[in-house]
């Protein structure tokens, strides 16, 4: 549910909250499905039909996964007071994927990016909200690019580590990172209104643009984060080898 600024209070925070009903239903359906599948397994075993057990185990596994996902979403909502996303006078609060809840002050935000991702299993898209940090802010794409260039120029790295870094160096160019987001969240279990969000940004941060990107640009926007993790892991491996 989206909480709009009340009438007569244009500067009130824009707050989007996680839905509570859906994860509760997921847990309930998962528990029910597990109970039914267990009874079915017991029934086919007693009937001397062990070949039918795998099908019932599949239902039991799916039920456990459904209940676990619902439980995880409930726990996530409780940790953040059920707030998924907020814009106020101090900055942006975002439950980012997979980094968890983060608050970004306006002095480190250069843009709010609205985009989407095509889903893998069901035809459709998932809406996303991304935070674009200033070039010199920790976690910005430009900082990653500078750290990668510095690492590639090092002469004390093992050859295999250096080759890993060279593969990363052929990744997105500076132009490709122009609007890449540093942190983002998929709108799962919550929704935002584009017009009301844009208005909230105009009120609280008139100098910070709201940029809309098509789903085709998803990898360009977030793909560099995988390179960032690979860079961190490669340098950690080299450091551990150095002290071994």
pLDDT in tens, 163-209: 888 777 655 566 667 778 989 999 988 999 999 999 999 999 999 99
Encoded tokens for 194: 């584009």
String of DSSP letters for 7-35: TT-TTSPEEEE--SHHHHHHHHHHHHHHH
pLDDT bucket at 7, cuts 50 / 70 / 90: very low
Helices 159-169 and 224-243: angle between axes, nearest 10 degrees: 170
Q: What is the pLDDT of residue 169?
A: 63
pLDDT of residue 176: 65
In this prediction, residue 241 carries a pLDDT of 62
For residue 18, which of 114, 119, 95, 130 has the smallest C-alpha distance? 95
> Taking the model in full, what pTM does it have?
0.74
Q: How far is CA 89 from the centre of its chain?
A: 24
Predicted confidence at residue 6, as pLDDT, reads: 37
Between CA 119 and CA 126 the distance in angstroms is: 7
Calculate the average pLDDT of the chain: 83
d(CA 83, CA 2): 10
Q: How far apart are CA 88 and CA 13, in angstroms?
A: 4
Rounded CA-CA distance 15/117 in Å is: 23
Q: Given this model, what pLDDT does residue 9 score? A: 46
């Amino acid at each position: 549910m989206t909480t709009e600024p009340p009438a007569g209070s244009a500067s009130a925070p824009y707050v989007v909250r996680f839905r509570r009903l859906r994860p509760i239903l997921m847990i309930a359906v998962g528990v029910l499905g597990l109970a039914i599948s267990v009874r079915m397994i017991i029934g086919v075993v007693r009937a001397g039909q062990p070949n039918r057990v795998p099908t019932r185990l599949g239902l039991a596994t799916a039920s456990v996964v459904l209940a676990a996902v619902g439980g995880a979403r409930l726990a996530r909502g409780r940790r953040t007071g059920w707030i998924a996303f907020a814009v106020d006078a101090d900055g942006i609060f975002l439950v980012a994927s997979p980094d968890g809840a983060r608050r970004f002050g306006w002095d480190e935000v250069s843009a709010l990016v609205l985009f989407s991702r095509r889903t893998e299993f069901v035809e459709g898209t998932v809406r996303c909200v991304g935070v674009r940090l200033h070039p010199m802010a920790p976690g910005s794409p430009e900082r990653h690019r500078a750290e990668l260039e510095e690492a590639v120029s090092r002469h004390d790295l093992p050859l295999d580590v250096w080759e890993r870094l060279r593969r990363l160096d052929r990744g997105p160019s500076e132009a490709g990172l122009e609007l890449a987001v540093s942190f983002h969240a998929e709108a799962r279990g919550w929704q935002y209104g584009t017009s009301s969000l844009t208005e909230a940004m105009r009120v609280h941060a008139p100098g910070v643009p709201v940029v809309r990107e098509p789903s085709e640009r998803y990898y360009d926007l977030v793909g560099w984060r995988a390179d960032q993790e690979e860079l961190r892991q490669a340098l950690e491996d080299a450091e551990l080898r150095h002290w071994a």
